[in-house]
Amino acid sequence: MDAQFAKTVLKSGKDQSLKRFHPWVFSGAIKKVYGQVNEGDVVAVYSNKDEFLGIGHYQVGSIAVRVFSFEEITPDINFWKNKLQNAYNLRKQLFSKDNQDTNVFRLVNAEGDGMPGLIIDFYNGVAVMQMHSIGMYLIKEQLKDALVEIMGGELKAVYDKSAKTIPFKSSVEPIDGYLYGSDPDKQVSEYGLTFNVDWELGQKTGFFIDQRENRKLVEDYAKGRDVLNMFCYTGGFSFFAMRGGANLVHSVDSSAKAIALTNENVKLNFPDDSRHEAFAVDAFDYLKDIKDKYNLVVLDPPAFAKHRETLPRALQGYKRLNTRAFEQIRPGGILFTFSCSQVVSKDKFREAVFSGAAIAGRSVKILHQLTQPADHPVNLYHPEGEYLKGLVLYVD
C-alpha cells in the first residue's frame, strides 16, 4: 500500500468495531493523525497496537473516516471499477435486460455496496450520482469514467446531484450538473407503470426507488377498496392501487409541486380516470375528519428523525400520525405504515405504532413486515443501513 496516506491511529479499545468490519470511525475514537490530512484524503487506520485496520476517506465531522477497504490496497481507478462492476453485476441479476417492466433501480447503495458516501440511482439509462462525502466527491470523474466503461451503451448520461448532500462544513462547493451526456429522456418504468422523474429539481435523486416492492404489494390489496395515499410525492402507491382495481384513490401531500407531479403521472398512466383525486394539504389536518372514508391507507412520511437527538420527538410524531390513522380507518381496513428514519429502529417504530393502535382502541393484526428491496442491500456489519421499516396491518 502507498505509504503516502496519512496514518490514523485509534485510541486503545476503539478498534473493536473496525475489526468487525463496521465501516465508520468516529472522531472521538482517534488518538492521533500523523502528517497533513485534508478533507476527502485517503487515510490508513491503525489500532493503538499498530495493527492495520482499514483505509478510507477522511472527513471533518462526527464520522471522521469512512472505510472502503479492510485490506491494504491502493484505491486507484481499477479498485473503484471493480467495486462498481460488482454492484452492477448484482443489479443485472435482479433486473434482467429483457425485463423492461422496470428500468429504475439503485445501482450503488453506499455502505451496502462497500462504497460509503456514494449513492447512484439508475433511471432508464441515466445514472444520478449523489455523493455524501468529500472523498467520493473528489473522485467523481474517475467513478463516472469507470461507470461509462462498465455500462457501455446502456448508459446515456451521468448527472451529479451532490449540492445538497455534501456536508455543509466542507470547503468544496458542489454544483449539480451532467458529467456525461445531457438532457436525456426523463420517463421511467416501474413494474410497467410510467413515471416522469425530475432528478434536477426533485427530492433525493428524484424518485423513492426504495418503495418499489411495497408499492407492488399495495396493488394486491387494492381491489374494491377506497384508498388514501398520504405523503404521495410523485403518486407511486396511488397508481399501483388503481391498477389493482381500487374503487377510489386520493393522493395527499403538503407540497403543491408533489401534487402537480402526481397529476402528471396520473395522466400518463390512467388518462381520464375519475377514480383519482389529489390534494395539497398537511397530513395532520387531512387526517382529522375522514372517519370511515377509507379502508386502505398508506402512510409514508419523510424521515421524522435525521439525528439521534431528535429521536424522542420523532417517535412522538410516528405515534400521533398512526393514532390518527387508526382512529379514522374503516373497520376491516388495511394500513400500510412506514418509517424511513435511519435512527428509528424496527422495534421503536413498532412500539410507536402499537401505542397509536392502543390509544385509538383498535384491534390490529400484522400481515407483513416490510423493508427496502434487494437493490438497496444492507451490509451485515453496518445495521444502520437498514433504514426503511414498514408494517401492513389489518384493522378490525
Residue numbers of the site for ligand SAH (CB under 6 A)? Answer: 208, 211, 231-234, 236-237, 253-255, 258, 282-283, 300-302
Nearer to ligand SAH, 283 or 311 (CB): 283
Phi, psi of 126 (to 5 degrees): -115, 125
Closest CB 210 distance from ligand SAH, rounded Å: 9
Contacts 24+ apart (CB under 8 A), 26-31: 26/62, 26/63, 26/64, 27/61, 27/62, 27/63, 27/64, 29/64, 30/64, 30/65
The length of the chain in residues reads 396
395 secondary structure, DSSP code: E
Nearer to ligand SAH, 219 or 300 (CB): 300
C-alpha cell at 59: 472527513
What is the C-alpha to C-alpha distance for residues 392 and 103, in angstroms, rounded to an integer?
Answer: 26
Nearer to ligand SAH, 170 or 254 (CB): 254
Closest CB 265 distance from ligand SAH, rounded Å: 10
Judge contact between 249 and 227, C-beta under 8 A: yes
Grid look-up 472505510 returns: 67
Closest CB 216 distance from ligand SAH, rounded Å: 11
Give the rounded distance of the alpha carbon of 99 from its chain centre.
23
Closest CA to 15 of 48, 42, 43: 48
DSSP string computed for 310-353: GHHHHHHHHHHHHHHHHHHSPTTEEEEEEE--TTS-HHHHHHHH
Nearer to ligand SAH, 255 or 310 (CB): 255
Nearer to ligand SAH, 211 or 269 (CB): 211
Closest CB 204 distance from ligand SAH, rounded Å: 8
Phi, psi of 13 (to 5 degrees): 85, -5
What is the C-alpha to C-alpha distance for residues 251 and 275, in angstroms, rounded to an integer?
Answer: 11
Closest CB 201 distance from ligand SAH, rounded Å: 13
Phi, psi of 302 (to 5 degrees): -65, 165
Closest CB 231 distance from ligand SAH, rounded Å: 4
Nearer to ligand SAH, 61 or 301 (CB): 301
What is the C-alpha to C-alpha distance for residues 228 and 278, in angstroms, rounded to an integer?
Answer: 10
Closest CB 375 distance from ligand SAH, rounded Å: 15
Nearer to ligand SAH, 132 or 216 (CB): 216
**In this structure, is the dihedral angle defined by the CA atoms of residues 181, 119, 235 and 211, taken in order, positive or negative?**
positive
Element housing 17 (H / E): helix 16-19
Nearer to ligand SAH, 209 or 343 (CB): 209
Nearer to ligand SAH, 277 or 282 (CB): 282
Nearer to ligand SAH, 111 or 190 (CB): 190
Closest CB 75 distance from ligand SAH, rounded Å: 34
Closest CB 32 distance from ligand SAH, rounded Å: 43
Closest CB 286 distance from ligand SAH, rounded Å: 7
The SS3 assignment for 192 reads coil
